[in-house]
Amino acid sequence: MEERTGTGDIKTNSVKALLVDPADPKALEKVSTVLEEEGAGSVDIVGVLTTHHHEDHAGGNDIVVKAISSASIYGGKPKDGPPRVRAVTNLVADGDEISLGDSIKIKCLATPCHTQDSICYYVTDGDQKAVFTGDTLFQGGCGRFFEGTPEEMHSSLSYLGQLPDDTIVYNGHEYTRGNLKFAKTVEPMNDALSRLEQLCDSNEITTGKSTIGDEKQWNVFMRLDIPAIRQATGETDAAAVMGKLRELKNAM
C-alpha cells in the first residue's frame, strides 16, 4: 500500500518552523506529539510551504490558519486563472526567496506539470541543502501529468537536476518500491538500482534518504538520454521519451 510520508517541518535554533504540505487536519497535533517525544520544547510555527493545491497536500492549511491566525501560507498559482491553494496568503513564483530565522534560506522553484501551480522549495542552512518536491520528483519517479505535458515535466526535472548533487530530496508520497519495479523493466542493467533496492529494503519510509545526485543515477525520468531507456520507449526525442515512460508507468 502506498502512503503519505507525513508532515515535514524545518526548524531553526530560534525555534521557528514552517510546516510543509500539512494535508492531515490533525497535523498540528501530530507535530506537537513528535516535538514532545523528541524533547524539542516549544516551537513557534510561523507558516506553511504548500507544494501544490491538491487536497492531499493543502488540505490542512485551513486548520493551521484557524489555530494560528498570523501564519503565512505560501503557495504558487497557475499562469492563467486564480490561485487554487487552500487558504493561501503569500503567493510565490519562480525565484522568490523566503527566510526562516537567522540562517535558513528557502528558494521557490516553479515546476509546472503535475499541477500548474507546483512549487518546489530549495532550502539551505549553511552547508546543509534539501528540496521539498511535492508530487514533481519522487525517489525513482515523478508525478503524473495531470495539468501539464511531457515537455513541462522534462523541463521541471531538469531544473531540479541543476541543484547541487548533495541536496537531500523530500518528496510527497511513498512510491519508491513501485518506481524501483518500473525502473527494472526499463533499465535493468543500471547498477545504481541495486542501491535503490537496498534503500527500500532498509527503510519503510524512504523520503529524505536520497539526494539529487542519487536521482540522476537511478531515476529513469531524469535519464532520458540513456540508450537503454530510449530503446525501451522506442523514442529518441527527450519529451517523447518522457511521455512514453509516463504512459508505461501508468499502465503498470
Task: Indicate which residues carry an active-site annotation.
Answer: 52, 54, 56-57, 114, 135, 173
d(CA 96, CA 75) in angstroms, rounded, equals 11
Helix axis angle for 176-186 and 192-202, nearest 10°, is 160
Q: Which amino acid is at 120?
A: C
Rounded Cα–Cα distance for residues 168 and 155 (Å): 20
> Phi and psi dihedrals of 99, rounded to 5?
-110, 145
C-alpha cell at 106: 528557502
Element (H, E) at 160: helix 150-161
Amino acid at 155: S
Contact status, residue 176 vs residue 139, Cβ threshold 8 Å: yes
CA distances in angstroms from 44 to 14, 28, 178, listed in the order given: 9, 11, 37
Paired with 209 in beta bridges are none
C-alpha cell at 43: 516551537
